Amino acid sequence: MDTGAGVGDGTGAEPPAEEARAATAGAGAPGAEATATDGVGAAGAETAAGASARATDEVRPYDVVLFGATGFVGTLTAEYLAAHAPAGCRWALAGRNRAGLTALRERLAARWPHCAELPLVVADAADPGSLGELAESARVVATTVGPYVWYGDGLVAACAEAGTDYLDLTGEAEFVDLTYVRHDARARETGARIVHACGFDSVPHDLGAYFTVRQLPEGVPLRVDGFVRAGAQFSGGTFASALTAFGRGRQILRAAHERRLHEPRLVGRRARAPLGGPRFSRETGTWALPLPTLDPQVVARSAAAMERYGPDFRYRHYASVKTLPMALGGAAVVGASALAAQLPPVRDWLMGRYQAGEGPSAERRARSWFSVRFVGEGGGRRVFTEVSGGDPGYDETAKMLAESALCLAFDALPKTAGQVTTAAAMGDALIARLTEAGLRFRVAHRS
């Protein structure tokens, strides 16, 4: 889910016409086979030029810059960094509105006095020059500014050019494919790691599947199913991103096709994320509805990137619903939203009903939760695992984004470059960080 909105600081404004026209490529279609290695092997190895670029990291003024800091999730992420960034971490707030950044810094300093002199970086998603300066100032840039298909490409381009690691919260498959086609090659040349979907989309699913695979035998075909449950409220930014995706079916398919033309094919291995059918899951005791989100594509790309997933890997992704009436009602709501998104006047009216940059109260978030259960099997073994936590769309998403940024900035990680997944880029190190931060990764049963 996309939890940032608007240009620079979460305003949710309509995209300029030229930006909207430029966003004509994007993400993989549900059920597509992952055929390329995101971030490892020949497709993702760091080049000599990239290694040289990384050698200059210590002269950059900031370890981490948070772009879109004044939006709803941006503010939560800033608060998390204020409370948890290690001593000596050089981090800064960025956005297009200096007054908003100043007000946020004052708010942070009231709780954490060490933030009183926190640097502020003014940059605008519509100004390539400011984005280039932002990327060149940082080792890692994390952004909450969405919908990314409208506002995200310029920052990815700037980070790829500068050899700067990039993180976002996108759940937009079109955007992920668009940036792969446009910027993966340059990022591999400079050593930049472009890591999309570092919030609830898609960290629990990607790392949960990785964690599950680690419990199974090596060198054999593996099958993993993920079942998602959550009790939470979504924001205007998330709703705007969902409606945007529903209304861009042709662009999504076009972008997926374009990516397939650019990706190298796997040789001797297979990694798939087919769209399963609705069914009753005996493993979880719930109705399982296929989820055509970005998450299964990310899992399949992690599998394509790492041999640990075996010679033939398959992942299916489901919403887990207790009763059949609830399942049918949920499907009807999604169908109605998708239909409404095809009609511009209706879509605009719906977007106007929810103000981007706003979200649920702290009390409501405190009651929210999520659970992703995984069933994995292969080599005669079967394992049941679970990833769980609190409010998925906001508190935990801010935590995931912040810890991912700190992980890239400070942890010993595999040498990857280009567009990479969280599992391929950070794997065990990010699981360790998130576990320490309160998320739960557990093995429920083995057989």
CB within 8 Å of 180: residues ≥ 6 apart: 38, 259, 262, 263, 419
Inform me whether the pLDDT recorded for 114 exceeds 60.
Answer: yes
- Can the peptide bond before residue 202 be classed as cis, meaning omega within 30 degrees of 0? yes
Inform me whether the pLDDT recorded for 15 exceeds 50.
Answer: no
Kindly indicate the confidence band of residue 103, based on its pLDDT and cuts at 50, 70 and 90: very high
Which pLDDT value is given to residue 37?
A: 40
Instruction: Specify the fold of 17-199+401-408.
Output: Rossmann fold (3.40.50)
Kindly indicate the confidence band of residue 241, based on its pLDDT and cuts at 50, 70 and 90: low
Inform me whether the pLDDT recorded for 18 exceeds 50.
Answer: no
How far is residue 240 CA from its own chain's centroid? Answer: 17
Kindly indicate the confidence band of residue 9, based on its pLDDT and cuts at 50, 70 and 90: very low
- What would the pLDDT profile of 147-186 be if each residue is shown by its tens digit? 899 999 999 999 999 999 999 999 999 999 999 999 999 9
CATH class in words for 203-393+433-446: alpha beta
Element (H, E) at 432: helix 427-436
Which pLDDT value is given to residue 277?
A: 85
Residue ranges of domains in the chain: 17-199+401-408, 203-393+433-446
CB within 8 Å of 69: residues ≥ 6 apart: 9, 75, 77, 78, 93, 94, 95, 101, 104, 144
Q: State the chain's mean pLDDT as an integer.
A: 84
Say whether 203-393+433-446 and 17-199+401-408 share the same fold.
no
Which pLDDT value is given to residue 292?
A: 86
**CA atoms within 13 A of residue 124's CA, in its CB half-sphere:** 9
Q: What is the pTM of this model?
A: 0.84
